[in-house]
Amino acid sequence: MTTARDVDTNAAPRADELRTAMVAALREMGAIQTEPVADVFRTVERHLFAPDAPLEMVYAANSAVVTKRDEAGLAISSLSAAHIQAVMLEQAQIRPGMRVLEVGSGGCNAAYLTKLVGPAGQVTSVDIDPDIVASAKAHLAAAGYDQVNVVLADAENGVPDHAPYDRVIVTAGAWDLPPAWSDQLNGGGQIVVPFRVRGLTRTVAFERDGDHLTSRDYRLCGFVPMQGIGAHTERRVPLDGDEVVLRVDEDKALDVDSLAAALRSPRLELWSGVEFDQVDELDFWIGTHAPVFGLLTAQDGPIECGLVAPSAKRGVPTLVRGGSFAYRTKRPIDGTDTFETGVYAHGPDARAVAEEYVELLRRWDRDHRGRRGAVIEAYPAGTPSTALPQGCVVDKKHTRVVISWPRTQAS
């Protein structure tokens, strides 16, 4: 295995070129928005944090470099894609002198943070995996950032020894928000976290607001899963063996046999008249309105034979009602290069669940397309329902999450 110190020195000029191109691409994509963030991507030698990976991969704006897999082959650590690192650093609004806790190490993002906080600031990076802690320390030293406190621990408890923090930046997919993260924040502190709600992950910038956290911004993202005490595995409900599954993130009673039988019954199609775009927001809207919700996910076989629509390839928002379900699909709008959203539904209540879905598509189009989006609030578990704002309530171990969709003027 190559270590950071034996990196081919001829790589440096090529890396400089690739880094310049990466920064241009990140600006073009809107991921980099401010000069301090542009500066860290321009100057930190990203390839020193994944010395075994091809330079082109390390400097591609949108690819993560997997650095460790579990026994089943699932990625459990990576150098995150530059795009999502930039988005999260912008969300975090890091300023010189801040104290930052990074959850999930590797070194590269900690180096970015170190440059952003400057000599008056402090960065602590915690990882649950001793291999990652060792390599992060080695890579940071080789790149000249050995002032970072790299700590081996489960981040469920934060890192009290270096608290309080102005920012907590989480770089593993979190299903919940452990109290330690808010408890270890300064008064005006913020948490930026890839947060999974009903199977849909968004990087959310949370501010403290009295007894709870309120989102300031959120963006689509994907991350390796949180391990340790905070790990939370989705339930995979088989509808056609492993080939078609319904991924469900909450503990809801489901009529699995009827749902599997429904998939084999003829499908009902219903069209909405709503143009198919801004799919991330649309999916979040659907996911935070359905009483019972999952992500229908299919492999190639059932899609190719027409049993399931191609929209299910990566998991498509699905409303469940008893032994019936509906999910979104699309069809071309004649004479244009755009698509119309619609719904495929199966089961004895196919029509009712399809109509419910199409009504949601139309409400989103009428009241929310291109507007401010949702507000995500996290209250401590145990907060009585009467003290929660209106919205979709998702109960987690430590928090009661409320997602609401204020109606605002189009922007």
Ligand X SMILES: C[S@@+](CC[C@H](N)C(=O)[O-])C[C@H]1O[C@@H](n2cnc3c(N)ncnc32)[C@H](O)[C@@H]1O
The residues annotated with a catalytic role in the active site are 80
Nearer to ligand X, 193 or 244 (CB): 193
Selected from 128, 138, 193, 221, the binder of ligand X by CB under 6 A is: 128
- Site membership for ligand X, residue 140 (CB under 6 A): no
- Site membership for ligand X, residue 192 (CB under 6 A): no
Site for ligand X (CB under 6 A): how many residues? 29
Selected from 132, 270, 350, 403, the binder of ligand X by CB under 6 A is: 132
Selected from 103, 143, 244, 403, the binder of ligand X by CB under 6 A is: 103
Nearer to ligand X, 93 or 109 (CB): 109
Q: How are strands ordered across the β-sheet holding 268-275? A: 235-240, 244-248, 293-298, 316-321, 324-332, 339-346, 268-275
- Contacts for 164-167 with beta carbons within 8 Å, 24 or more apart? 164/99, 164/189, 165/99, 165/100, 165/101, 165/124, 165/189, 166/98, 166/99, 166/100, 166/190, 167/92, 167/94, 167/98, 167/99, 167/100, 167/101, 167/191, 167/192
Q: Which residue is nearest to ligand X (CB)?
A: 104
Per-position x/- string for 366-385, each x denoting binding to ligand X as judged by CB under 6 A, each - no binding: --------------------
Per CB under 6 A, the segment of 55-63, 149-157, 291-299, 319-327 that binds ligand X is 149-157
Subset of 294-353 contacting ligand X (CB under 6 A): none
Per CB under 6 A, the segment of 10-18, 221-229, 295-303, 368-376 that binds ligand X is 221-229
Closest CA to 15 of 34, 52, 42: 42
Selected from 114, 124, 171, 311, the binder of ligand X by CB under 6 A is: 171
DSSP 46: G
What does the DSSP assignment read for 4-26?
GGG--TTHHHHHHHHHHHHHHHH
Nearer to ligand X, 136 or 246 (CB): 136
Cβ count near 57 (within 10 Å): 15
Q: In angstroms, give the least distance from the CB of 322 to ligand X.
A: 37
Q: Which residues contact 335 (CB under 8 A, 6 or more apart)?
A: none
What separation in angstroms does the CA of 397 have from each of 53, 227, 301, 380, 403? 38, 15, 37, 9, 17
Selected from 155, 180, 316, 326, the binder of ligand X by CB under 6 A is: 155
Q: In angstroms, give the least distance from the CB of 128 to ligand X.
A: 4
Selected from 40, 82, 106, 392, the binder of ligand X by CB under 6 A is: 106
CA distance 340 to 330: 5
CA distance 140 to 5: 11
Tokens for 235?
A: 């339930």
- Site membership for ligand X, residue 275 (CB under 6 A): no
- Site membership for ligand X, residue 176 (CB under 6 A): no
- Site membership for ligand X, residue 108 (CB under 6 A): yes
Q: Which chain residues interact with ligand X by CB under 6 A? A: 76-80, 102-109, 126-129, 132, 154-156, 171-172, 223-224, 226-228, 230
